[in-house]
Chain A
């Protein structure tokens, strides 16, 4: 057993309102620079949809992630052989147009245009060439466009669904969608690290954050191909790849990353998880069927004395072990078994987990007579004469499956490598907690029924209350349990303090990095 600590994350998709505050917080801090305008280290996608970059999940196009071979795993589109042979031209690399061409508007024209008969306009100009462009795509271009031909119906996750199932999903009356916020998963078996010919990308041993050393990156571009989540971006201006750094300067200072701090829906949780590094290879090369279970098993119980002893032997601080014991992510992923990794079949062992969304599955449409209600309205009020009601209340644990608006197969393709049972299990738990809380607060559900549904999913009332508290009431310090980086050690993550001893001032000011010759 080789215990290491990892900062892991949980995103609760039922709570995501798709406001993009996380993306904007990240953009304003990290990627508001030349060459990085198109990058969204944090982005929020509408599912079903094609995502960003377009169809990133379709590995027959981008060849990202690992694939199973006879004796383990190999990188699908990169690696020692393929990477070096394709170094002069990488055939599987997404291009700028797969993301979008960044643009701005000539706002000054609105003010400085000479007086004339026509209203002045602000023309869009490309942020690459500076020339006027016709905007073809932009950030969140397919936001909220579920059901559309160009976006939702080209979602790579639909390929396992029958045509009838797809049609059912996109019926105008039943259509649903949910948001999928994505950042770098800071994987245990990162494909970007393995693919980098220069060795510029590395995983930090102390907290598992995956970083690109900008001084070593030589623009061989293999990480862009290898990352199946397309979370490594190429800066065309500096000739270096960049990616989410999990706001490590903030984490070291005990602050939550900007995207998590700013999250309006409070969907994000961050905490330490202890894992067994000896088993990474074994887990990553498991069969598709066992992948999720093994992924869960590599995450160790921080209360187990054996695990604690092994962690201490590896130099993990007591404060970190304590943080692991209080970690909200450990609770969601292991204790309550509510969260699942995104696309585990890419075999990178992502450390960002998602609580699958219940609403689009559970909510149903009922036909009700609303005439009484309409009569009460002011005669000039606009009245819709249909009698459909979007209903999210339920008394049945799984009674609504027949009317579910989303085929489970779709969610399973995203979150459990195609295993519908695993998603179903988690959704049932969410539903059980809901029914139990309705019994407690509204009281229109009999006690026996509330307890029966909990028993059905293996929860005690106390556990259900805990889930409820962490989901709905959790304060900042409950959602983000950040291990002390120990400031006295954090500085040593950046520089050797012995060098500074006895020297004056704040060190040297370095020139702004500019594009090379």
Chain B
């Protein structure tokens, strides 16, 4: 029981705190290094298949997990019709396979392309292996422990909510099969590692681009006001650094 307490109570909180504080600290201290570090410039063809399959897959699967976590009753209501449940499960599994194929491709690309090796560091490989094992476990669960969309909503979502509410209830999780428990632990480990890896780039995903005007002109200060002798001297901070 104590070991389960560590895995499902302590670890999640450590991971979340590390993620929040670590990300803020890293952004503030070394904001320059927060970049998607794209390697497309050095190799494009293998990246196309790997990156597209991986990113779209993980986007869909992540959204699936998030929605089930946030709206468990709605998910259960959707799943009450077997056809809809099967459609959902098949879609989720397809995206899972897409991640698996894409990530494997990306991992092999990192190992086999001489140019890409030059822009690969140890952390890139560690996080890719972690993600890869997480995806393998995920696909295994999807095949072996049906129907995930429903039991996630009924058993795991309350557990996650209990963590959010600072009142962890781990009975249901502790009773889960080892594969699922490993998947949960893996998830928290990855969350905790975000600040130390290139995964930081998804925190700076450019959604604000949708809302900003296309052209951007920056003035070091408001010269109209400063040059007007009638205004008092006010503090104009440069906006471009």
Binding site for B on A (CB under 8 A): 79-80, 83-84, 87-91, 93, 95-96, 128-131, 189-190, 193-194, 196-199, 201-206, 211, 213-215, 217-221, 224, 234, 236-240, 313-316, 489, 492-496, 498, 513-517
| Contact, CB under 8 Å: B217 / A203 | yes
Chain B contacts for A199, CB-based, 8 A: 206, 208-209, 212, 216
Q: Could you say which of A196, A213, A219 contacts B37, with CB atoms under 8 Å apart?
A: A219
Digitize B21-43: 1 where CB-to-A-CB distance is under 8 Å, 0 elsewhere. Answer: 00000000011111111111111
Chain B contacts for A234, CB-based, 8 A: 38, 41
CA distance A221 to B56 in the complex (A): 18
CA distance A214 to B36 in the complex (A): 13
B110-138 at interface with A (beta carbon < 8 Å): 114-115, 117-119, 121, 123
Instruction: Tell whether A95 pairs with B44 under 8 Å between CB atoms, given A129-B117, A314-B223.
Output: yes
| Contact, CB under 8 Å: B238 / A496 | yes
Chain B contacts for A214, CB-based, 8 A: 32
| Closest residue of B by beta carbon distance from A214 | B32
B32-60 at interface with A (beta carbon < 8 Å): 32-44, 47-48, 51-52, 55-56
Is B210 on the interface with A (CB-CB < 8 A)? Answer: yes
Chain B contacts for A515, CB-based, 8 A: 33, 37, 119
| Contact, CB under 8 Å: A189 / B41 | no
| Closest residue of B by beta carbon distance from A234 | B41
Chain A contacts for B33, CB-based, 8 A: 514-517
CA distance A83 to B212 in the complex (A): 14
Do most interface residues of chain A lie in helix, strand or loop, or is the interface mixed? Answer: loop
| Contact, CB under 8 Å: A516 / B44 | no
| Contact, CB under 8 Å: B117 / A213 | no
Is B230 on the interface with A (CB-CB < 8 A)? Answer: no
| Contact, CB under 8 Å: A517 / B123 | yes
CA distance A94 to B222 in the complex (A): 38
CA distance A517 to B34 in the complex (A): 8
| Closest residue of B by beta carbon distance from A191 | B214
Q: Nearest 5 A-B pairs (CB), nearest first?
A: A315-B223, A516-B33, A197-B206, A205-B219, A194-B214
Chain A contacts for B216, CB-based, 8 A: 193, 196, 199, 201-203
| Contact, CB under 8 Å: B197 / A220 | no
Q: How many A-B residue pairs have CB under 8 A?
A: 162
Q: Could you say which of A130, A190, A220, A313 contacts B224, with CB atoms under 8 Å apart?
A: A313
CA distance A374 to B215 in the complex (A): 65
CA distance A83 to B210 in the complex (A): 10
CA distance A221 to B123 in the complex (A): 23
Which of B56, B215, B235: most chain A Cβ within 10 A? B215
Instruction: Tell whether A217 pairs with B35 under 8 Å between CB atoms, given A96-B41, A194-B214, A315-B227.
Output: yes
| Contact, CB under 8 Å: B41 / A129 | no
Chain B contacts for A91, CB-based, 8 A: 48
Q: Could you say which of A83, A221, A224, A493 contacts B238, with CB atoms under 8 Å apart?
A: A493
13 contacts between A and B (CB under 8 A): A130-B118, A202-B217, A203-B215, A203-B216, A204-B218, A205-B218, A206-B223, A220-B206, A239-B38, A495-B238, A515-B37, A516-B32, A517-B197
| Closest residue of B by beta carbon distance from A490 | B220
Is B226 on the interface with A (CB-CB < 8 A)? Answer: yes
Chain A contacts for B47, CB-based, 8 A: 89
| Closest residue of A by beta carbon distance from B31 | A215
Is B81 on the interface with A (CB-CB < 8 A)? Answer: no
B67-123 at interface with A (beta carbon < 8 Å): 114-115, 117-119, 121, 123
Chain A contacts for B198, CB-based, 8 A: 516-517
